[in-house]
Structure 1
Amino acid sequence: MDEVTQDQAPKGTPMTEGYCSWHNRIAKDVERIQLSEAGSGGRVHYACPPCIGVFKLTPYSGQ
């Protein structure tokens, strides 16, 4: 399967539209998600607001 890539938004800025890594579809206002290095596989992951709430995800804070 081809990997979906997208431009990076400024830190902490919701994007208009993007790919949600949790429900595997395009969604509005996706945010970059903070994952541990071991859990991310070296990829940047994004999630939509409903998935952030359901899966209790932590948006990337840029620390």
Structure 2
Amino acid sequence: MDESTQDQAAEGTPLRGYGFCSWHDRFADNVRLIELSEAGSGGKVHYACPQCIHIFKLTTAD
């Protein structure tokens, strides 16, 4: 029998979860990967919460 788990997302739904928001320097729900130019990112991966995405008009990578 095929059983689903909570870790599986509905088809077509990008995975999002609890993580560190690089903009307000705290952990938050539903963080998303942010697209930055290479010069501005310093080679690091940055994530932001929905509120910071809205406030700072950030562009998500997904």
Q: Same fold (TM over 0.5)?
A: yes
Which residues of structure 2 form unaligned runs of 5+?
Answer: 1-12
TM-score (norm 2): 0.75
Aligned equivalents of 1:40 and 1:14: distance in 2?
22
Aligned equivalents of 2:24 and 2:42: distance in 1?
18
1:18 corresponding residue in structure 2: 19
Aligned equivalents of 1:51 and 1:57: distance in 2?
8
- CA-atom RMSD in angstroms: 1.5
1:28 corresponding residue in structure 2: 29
1:3 corresponding residue in structure 2: none
TM-score (norm 1): 0.74
Size of the aligned set, in residue pairs, is: 50
Aligned equivalents of 1:52 and 1:15: distance in 2?
14
How high is the sequence identity, in percent, across the aligned residues?
Answer: 58
Aligned equivalents of 2:15 and 2:24: distance in 1?
17
Task: Say yes or no: does 1:43 pair with 2:38.
Answer: no
Aligned equivalents of 1:14 and 1:26: distance in 2?
17
Query: 1:45 corresponds to which letter in structure 2?
Result: H
2:60 corresponding residue in structure 1: 59
Which residues of structure 1 form unaligned runs of 5+?
Answer: 1-11
For residue 13 of structure 1, report the CA deviation from its aligned partner: 2.9
